[in-house]
Structures are given as C-alpha cells and as structure tokens.
Homo-oligomer: A and B are copies of this chain.
Amino acid sequence: MMKFAFKEKVDKLLSSARLKRTGQRKAILEVLLKANSPLTADEIVHATGNTGPNRVTIYRTLESMAEAGILHKAFIEGRSRCYEPADKCSENQCHPHFVCTGCGQTHCLTDATVPMATSMPAGFIIKRQQVRLEGLCPECNMTENKRHMHNDGK
C-alpha cells in the first residue's frame, strides 16, 4: 500500500504552492494525480461526485494551482481547458500530448522527446515549448490496417 506516501505527496504539493490544505483541494489534486491524461473541470466534478467540491471551487482551484505552478494547462484543442500535474514536464518543455483522430483519446507521451525550436527570428526568448501530436493510436491504427487488408482482398 502506497496510500500514506500518496497523501503526503498531495500535502507537500499544496504547501510548496503556499495554498491552504483544504479537503477540496486535496480531493481535486488526488483525482489529477491518479488520472493518466489531462482532465477538464467537468471531469473532476464527476470524479469527485456529489460530496465533492462545488463546481466553482474546482474552476478556481485549477486556476490557482496552475498559477502556483503545480498544475499545467495542457495544450489540447477542445472547448474546455484541461489540467494535469506539472511533474513529468521539464523546465522549458511540457511532455507532448497525442490526440487520436480515430477514437478521440488523449495520451500523455511522457517519454517522447521533441528538440527545442531552432532558427527563431531574432529577439524572441522561449520560456516554454508545448507540442501536440495528432494521428492514430495503436488500437485505431490496427483497426485501420485490418480494414485495408479486407478491402484489398476483394
């Protein structure tokens, strides 16, 4: 059981951000830490349920944690913002996100690397680089291939 260490991690994150360690914030942070892709406010509302924090609190909390640097806004298209823990990103580059055009799922590519931009016009100082990849995930790619084989065999 890693439960103890987990709760401690949440507490440490909050105090490192100089935010009061309230039940609401812990609940939100726990959901985000357990998730394996960035989440919207609405997804957190559902994950925390009726007894969880109020919608407005979730919006405000996500913003303040992002401002404090322990969360990042993920660079994904969609009408609603997605947030994720800021670990697994380096100082000047967030890990890339892969969005599958087949199934719509978002994958965190914590191990893929993209070199920093080069041949920048003079005077621009890059503080952070974010990358979004679009394509087919392994499952959807497999299905595509099967479909092709089928059609070719006709």
Contact = CB atoms under 8 A, between A and B. Distances in A.
Contact of A134 (B96, B128, B131): B128
B123 A118 contact: no
A127 B122 contact: no
B141 A135 contact: no
Chain A interface category by residue count: 35 or more
27 contacts: A75-B75, A98-B126, A101-B127, A107-B124, A111-B119, A111-B121, A112-B117, A113-B118, A114-B114, A114-B115, A114-B116, A114-B118, A114-B131, A122-B138, A124-B133, A124-B135, A124-B138, A124-B141, A126-B133, A126-B134, A128-B133, A128-B135, A129-B132, A129-B133, A130-B134, A131-B131, A131-B132
